[in-house]
Amino acid sequence: RETGLTCINLSTNTVRLTNETEIVEIIQGCPTPKNQLAMFEKRLDFLRTQSSPLRSFARFVKQGFSRSEIETIESIRRVIRTYLNGLADNIAAHPYGWSQYGKKDESGDNFDFYPSLFVDRLKQQMKLLECRLQFQEMMAYSQLFVEYVDGQRKAA
């Protein structure tokens, strides 16, 4: 681990994680696709048989990957891409998503990104989620919801 920036390089499949305490605590406390990736790792272990190109580069050059191996690898890439794009929110989701987080100068040639606009939007989203969670928690302990669950149980 190094002091400074945490980098994820998808080309080389490497992660350089900072040793700064605050960053490490944030990363360790956040939900990640770790469970999904662990499931895919088990699937790759299962697919890694004697005849699998996963065990031999020479075999890979001759046969390529099986359909199951390709699907598993694509699923891993999709999980990672979705997670990383989620960090950039709608900047990654929409071609001009970046435009709502800054201003062009008078000439229109330069764009100034304001991180506070991006972070404020994320904070608003978090407040909405917290309000929803608070309401759902109150609702879950209500007699009305208990009756609803019982009705769903009886209907099943």
Q: Where are the beta strands (DSSP E) in 10-73?
A: 14-16
Name the average pLDDT for the chain. 83
Return d(Cα 133, Cα 144) in angstroms, integer.
17
**For 126-153, how does the pLDDT look when each residue is reduced to its tens digit (9 = 90+)?**
999 999 999 999 999 999 999 999 999 9
**For 39-63, how does the pLDDT look when each residue is reduced to its tens digit (9 = 90+)?**
888 888 888 776 788 888 888 888 8
Q: Is the pLDDT of residue 1 over 50?
A: no
**For 91-126, how does the pLDDT look when each residue is reduced to its tens digit (9 = 90+)?**
888 889 899 999 998 888 899 999 999 999 999 999
- Report the sign of the C-alpha dihedral through residues 36, 37, 38, 41, in that order: positive
Using alpha carbons, list the distances in angstroms from residue 53 to 60, 78, 114: 4, 21, 48
The predicted pLDDT at position 10 comes to: 54
